[in-house]
Structure 1
Amino acid sequence: MRRQRPRGSQLGLLLLASQLFQVGLDNIPPVTMGVLGLNVYLYLFPAAPLMQACVSVQKAYWYGDWRRLLLSPFHHVDDWHLYFNLTSFLWKGINLERRLGGAWFFYVLSVFSLLTGLVYLGLEAGLTELTDDPSYSVQCAVGFSGVLFALKILSNHYHPGGVTYVLGLRVDNRYASWVELVLIHITNPGTSLIGHLAGILVGLLYTTGPLKSIMKMCAGLGTRSGDSAEGEYAGGRRDYTGGMTEQEQYDRALRNSLNDTAGSRPADAAPPAYGFHLSDEEVRRRRLMRFDR
């Protein structure tokens, strides 16, 4: 077993702050900044303990605690979980908010956050029925990574024909999310494969399915394109990206952040990949460790 870092070190939060200042706070559009701030705030001051914020078929459907659909995307297990999720969201948020405009991007985030949880519950309930294994219904998920997978589908939709790097592998954008889904689960078995898959399906519902049209109808836009607000921030500065792709920007910033703190992190304290699910025992253990600290 890997030894846990003391919670008081909060190295992930320090790296996140370093990342934001490297990008420049004035380069981050308001909705993206607001979501970043909300996640950090709820990490520091949770709206509920993790076992009351995570979402599962058992807790949400069987016990009727639907509030978890709102809480689970914005709560994180530890500072590394928060750091990797928010660093990934930073680049996606900047690019998509500038493309779609603040109002529509906020709408997309709201729908994706709720719908990813609902699709996750549907998949877990379906697996319970198909396999006659109730363990699928009690797996409790927490974190923003399902929404990130949905945003990745959307981002790749607006940048067709490009390539990205997934764990060092060069992959066509069309397949990047699926490759990442498999590789993350293989290299980090604790991640929620179903939660990530739910995000991919929500993204596909928007880009190739009826979700975008339904959202336009609900917003009263009629036949007006949901992308009509695109370019709301087009007059803003873009040259800070240096012509790099989203993945190249992320890789460079991540390397810079880690190099800035080289030697300050214990060798056996490898950060967890984002978006993993929690067993009851794991959360109880983390909670007890937090109280002990």
Structure 2
Amino acid sequence: MAMLLLMRLMQQVNELPVKPPVTLGLMGLQGWLFMNPPPFLDRVSDVCMSAFSVIQMGELYRIIAASLFHLDAYHLYYNMSSFLVKGVALEQRLGSPLMLAMTLGLLVATNIIHLALSVALDDWMTCSLGFSGVLFALKVIVTYDLQDPNQDAYFYGIRLPSKHLVWVEIAFIQMVMPQASMLGHASGALAGFGFLALRRLAPALLRWVPREAPRTYGSGFWGAPRQQRHQEPTYGNAAPPYGNAAPEPPRARPQPTAPSGASLSADELRRRRVDRYAQSAR
């Protein structure tokens, strides 16, 4: 049965016009771990996550490992089929690097929220396993990023806004499959909403980051923005003391003028008047 489900999943992948590498890589990793579990993680009790195992026993690896392993072939198939649809849409929109970073971040955030809720509800021993929590986080992002959250959707003939569909699905799965981890699914949805809220707050938070204001000393810049820090300082009209430019010669000092008439003696003035009169009489 596992091989039939795997072949059906591969058929869905082959029908894709674009093969998203991150989505397919994560699907392949989880399929490989299901078919070939490491010898030290070959039991469900070795990889499932509970508040007791992580917080009391300090087994932090379960925060990641619990989302990459599955109970059986059906569990793996339905999770990977859902991930294929959501991953293709998001990876084409975001690009592979951001898709990888976002998925890993949501995985960790989902399980941390799950642990916090387990402690708050005093549920230390319930052990969860599977990728479902991450899928609900991705579903929230798809609903608000790729769709209109206020657009009507249909769930088994029931008409409701698509933004409420994630909570209806969580409740429905819990009714049909009581053994499913409702807390894990709800934690994934909360992680998705947290991602959207953080992304909206990021521009506002960046505006609170202090920036260096440009301060001037003379004609140069100190503490200026990066594009101004490498400008050559200017110093009025003075020539630079380096480079190929020749230094400007010193300006000539004004020569002292001849003494004015007020400083001549009376006899000298009388003699000059007589000389001018004699010349004019000729």
Range of TM-score over shorter length: 0.5 to 0.7
Does the Cα contact within 8 Å between 1:12 and 1:82 map onto a contact in 2? no
The residue that corresponds to 1:185 in the other structure is: 174
The residue that corresponds to 1:91 in the other structure is: 85
Match status 1:172 vs 2:137: no
The residue that corresponds to 1:32 in the other structure is: 23
Distance 1:126 1:45, change over 3 A: same
- Of the three residues 132, 144, 148, the one matched with 1:145 is 132
Give the letter aligned to residue 35 of structure 2: L
Give the letter aligned to residue 25 of structure 2: G
Give the letter aligned to residue 129 of structure 2: V
Give the letter aligned to residue 96 of structure 1: L
Shift of 1:165: 3.8
Equivalent pairs, count? 200
The residue that corresponds to 1:157 in the other structure is: 144
TM-score by length of 1: 0.64
- Of the three residues 74, 95, 102, the one matched with 1:101 is 95
- Partner Cα distance (1:166, 1:127) in 2: 30
Give the letter aligned to residue 121 of structure 2: L
- Of the three residues 7, 10, 30, the one matched with 1:14 is 7
* Structure 1 residues not aligned, in runs of 5+: 1-7, 129-135, 218-293
- Partner Cα distance (2:153, 2:4) in 1: 27
Does the Cα contact within 8 Å between 2:48 and 2:65 map onto a contact in 1? yes
Shift of 1:9: 5.1
Does the Cα contact within 8 Å between 2:2 and 2:73 map onto a contact in 1? no
Does the Cα contact within 8 Å between 2:133 and 2:188 map onto a contact in 1? yes
* Structure 2 residues not aligned, in runs of 5+: 207-282
Identity of aligned residues (%): 31
Shift of 1:212: 7.5
Distance 1:211 1:191, change over 3 A: farther
Q: Could you report, residue by residue, the CA deviation over 1:138-171 in whole angstroms, capped at 9, with x for unpaired residues?
A: 1110100000000000000111133444345443
Give the letter aligned to residue 28 of structure 1: K
The residue that corresponds to 1:116 in the other structure is: 110
Shift of 1:63: 0.5
TM-score by length of 2: 0.66
Shift of 1:119: 0.6
- Partner Cα distance (1:163, 1:82) in 2: 30
Give the letter aligned to residue 101 of structure 2: Y
Does the Cα contact within 8 Å between 1:54 and 1:68 map onto a contact in 2? yes
Distance 1:137 1:212, change over 3 A: farther
Give the letter aligned to residue 102 of structure 1: S
Give the letter aligned to residue 18 of structure 2: N
- Partner Cα distance (1:90, 1:60) in 2: 30
Does the Cα contact within 8 Å between 1:15 and 1:83 map onto a contact in 2? no
Distance 1:84 1:171, change over 3 A: farther
Does the Cα contact within 8 Å between 2:21 and 2:96 map onto a contact in 1? yes
Does the Cα contact within 8 Å between 1:55 and 1:69 map onto a contact in 2? yes
Does the Cα contact within 8 Å between 1:206 and 1:212 map onto a contact in 2? no
Query: RMSD of aligned C-alpha atoms?
Result: 2.2
